[in-house]
């Protein structure tokens, strides 16, 4: 007979509560390889937590092959084989784990949906199936996607290209197609970030955003994709760290019974797993400590606690709240039952393919998506500079740019044509005059002589608080045009930046845009911009 929370002894209660935590770990095997040791548990701590009953791990970093072995190790450490292993692979497994397929961001298909909805839907389902197949082969059973936020605010610093659309109809239809692919591939999906993070101007990793819309507006826009995914059978929903006064003027959605129970459970009739967004984010840690955050999330209606700032403190606090009666025993029993049911559904859909790596068909999908979403304008190709020139490359941050190694097409292909690469980012070379000069912001003496091929790798990224928007690229383009030094423009990532800058260019200036930033996107864009499309027929590795 299954014990209930009221009949468990303290050790059993602690192990039961531990099952509902999801802690963070590196995909690499060694402690010294951890990319974010502040959040990623050491191996000794991770093994202790899993042996004591912690039931979930979210992974980041490493290769697909490393991830496969890492998942085997975690399962061996776990108290039982019912371990939830997940990752934020919203753009395919290759987004986080090298060697797997990295796909263009979801918003790329949102743009395609505007003029070819049928093709976009087909792509989205294949996108989901590719993600699921590779996740499963690497050992994951839970994909923290699709994003169901409607990116109605172009200035959104944290959702942006992660959304499937700028309108609820496209976002819902494409997220549903992606979810069908996940289900066909045998892994659990997760609709996020409930009740909708798409119209915020703040990053919840750094502060608590406020969404001031009326309930009627939320029903018309933010909630529509979630309703659609719930009807499609999505297994889990992730909360948003947002304050929405129309729903609850006092608590953020993650900690609000009015949002998670009254709205999500009762009104939207969602019966699956509710998982918090990471509780280490400043939107939560700035309000309450790790233990109280976990208790309030359970009180609100969450089943799983993702990345508490202190796992032991969270477990202790929830156990104490159950013993004192602050949390009813039924809440623990319900959450454990939902977790069991989700894992049972997942096991029932698993296929027998256990190999790691990337198939030809999956790589072909990546190429098709890049080709279908590439945009080109102006008089291509870019002219080769007679006396040499510069390709000025702006990246979001130098610490996480595996797509810009020295042999990357964005660097090596223009170099063959005589454009010397200069990378600029906030931690290194700055191309700007200091103090700023409005009409001619670029300090061209730092770049050298010759024409400038401008390449901007910019997208909405967490933790950056929209700092990329401060770069005066429109003024820089006007400055280069006035001096007849702009050879061409390439934008990778943010469609809003592309739309604003392409309007400044005369038809004589070659320009191109790709939503993707990976090597495949660089090669295809450079092939069109430099007039080297014949290089695209080589296939295989993207090398010189």
Q: Mind telling me the catalytic residues?
A: 205, 277
Place of tokens 């027929």: 537
User: For residues 50 and 42, is the Cβ–Cβ distance under 8 A?
Assistant: no
CA count, 13 A, side-chain hemisphere, 502: 18
- Ramachandran category for residue 319: left, alpha or beta (phi over 0 → left; psi -120 to 50 → alpha): alpha
Task: Report residue 240: phi and psi, to 5°.
Answer: -110, 140
What gap in Å lies between CA 164 and CA 156, rounded to an integer? 14
- Looking at the chain, how many residues does it have? 544
Dihedral angle, C-alpha 415, 420, 426, 431, nearest 10 °:
-140
* Ordered alpha helix ranges (H), 94-242: 106-113, 117-138, 168-185, 215-220, 224-231
Dihedral angle, C-alpha 315, 318, 324, 329, nearest 10 °:
-110
Task: Give every CB contact of residue 98 below 8 A, 6+ residues apart in sequence.
Answer: 62, 63, 64, 402
Distances (CA, A) of 176 to 84, 183, 224, 299: 22, 11, 11, 29
Nearest to 66 by CA among 93, 94, 109, 28: 28
SS3 at position 328: coil
With vertex at residue 129, the alpha carbon angle to CA 126 and CA 133, rounded to the nearest 5 degrees, is: 140
What gap in Å lies between CA 4 and CA 162, rounded to an integer? 40
What gap in Å lies between CA 325 and CA 237, rounded to an integer? 27
Dihedral angle, C-alpha 351, 352, 358, 362, nearest 10 °:
-40
Beta-carbon neighbour count of residue 499 at 10 Å? Answer: 13
SS3 readout for 259-315 = HHHHHHHHHCCCCCEEECCCCCCHHHHCCCCHHHHHHHHHHHCCCEEECCCCHHHHH
Please name every residue paired with 511 in a beta bridge, in sequence order, or none if there are none.
377, 489
What gap in Å lies between CA 527 and CA 346, rounded to an integer? 42
Please name every residue paired with 143 in a beta bridge, in sequence order, or none if there are none.
87
What gap in Å lies between CA 50 and CA 77, rounded to an integer? 6
């Amino acid at each position: 007979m299954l014990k209930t929370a009221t009949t468990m002894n303290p050790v059993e209660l602690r192990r039961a509560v531990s099952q509902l935590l999801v802690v963070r770990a590196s995909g690499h095997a060694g402690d010294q390889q951890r990319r974010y040791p502040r959040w990623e548990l050491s191996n000794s701590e991770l093994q202790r937590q899993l042996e004591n009953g912690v039931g979930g791990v979210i992974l980041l970093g490493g290769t697909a092959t490393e991830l496969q072995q890492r998942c085997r190790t975690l399962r061996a450490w776990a108290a039982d084989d019912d371990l939830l292993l997940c990752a934020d692979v919203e753009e395919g497994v290759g987004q986080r784990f090298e060697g797997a397929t990295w796909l263009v961001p979801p918003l790329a298909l949102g743009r395609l949906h505007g003029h070819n909805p049928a093709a976009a839907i087909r792509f989205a389902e294949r996108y989901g199936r590719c993600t699921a197949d590779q996740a499963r082969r690497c050992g994951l059973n839970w994909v923290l996607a699709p994003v169901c936020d409607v990116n109605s605010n172009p200035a959104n610093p944290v959702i942006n290209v992660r959304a499937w659309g700028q309108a609820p109809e496209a976002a819902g239809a494409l997220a549903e197609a992606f979810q069908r692919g996940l289900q066909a591939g045998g892994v659990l999906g997760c609709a996020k970030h409930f009740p909708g993070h798409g119209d915020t101007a703040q990053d919840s990793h750094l502060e608590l955003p406020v969404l001031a819309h009326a309930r009627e507006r939320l029903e018309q826009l933010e909630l529509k994709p979630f309703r659609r995914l719930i009807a499609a059978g999505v297994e889990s929903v992730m909360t948003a760290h947002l304050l929405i006064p129309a729903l609850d003027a006092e608590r953020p959605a993650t900690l609000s019974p009015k949002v998670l129970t009254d709205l999500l459970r009762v009104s939207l009739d969602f019966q699956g797993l509710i998982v918090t967004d990471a509780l280490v984010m400043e939107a939560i840690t700035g309000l309450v400590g790790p233990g109280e955050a976990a208790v309030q999330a359970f009180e609100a209606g969450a089943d799983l606690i993702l990345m508490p700032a202190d796992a032991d403190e969270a477990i202790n606090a929830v156990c104490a709240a159950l013993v004192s009666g602050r949390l009813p025993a039924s809440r623990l029993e319900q959450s454990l039952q939902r977790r069991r049911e989700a894992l049972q559904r997942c096991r029932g859909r698993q296929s027998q393919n256990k190999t790691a790596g990337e198939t030809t068909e999956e790589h072909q999908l990546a190429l098709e998506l890049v080709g279908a979403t590439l945009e080109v304008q102006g008089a291509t190709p870019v002219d080769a500079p007679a006396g040499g020139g510069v390709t000025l490359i702006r990246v979001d941050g130098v610490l996480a740019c595996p797509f810009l190694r020295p042999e990357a097409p964005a660097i090596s292909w223009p170099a063959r044509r005589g454009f010397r690469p200069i990378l600029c980012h906030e931690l290194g070379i700055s191309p700007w005059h200091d103090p700023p000069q409005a009409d001619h912001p670029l300090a061209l003496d730092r770049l050298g002589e010759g024409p400038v091929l401008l390449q901007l790798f910019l997208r909405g990224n967490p933790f950056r608080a929209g700092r990329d928007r401060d770069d005066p690229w429109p003024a820089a383009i006007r400055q280069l045009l006035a001096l007849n030094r702009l050879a061409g423009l390439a934008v990778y990532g943010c469609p809003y930046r592309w739309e604003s800058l392409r309007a400044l260019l005369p038809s004589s200036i070659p320009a191109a845009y790709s939503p993707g930033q990976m090597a495949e996107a660089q090669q295809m864009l450079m092939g069109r911009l430099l007039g080297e499309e014949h290089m695209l027929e080589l296939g295989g590795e993207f090398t010189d």
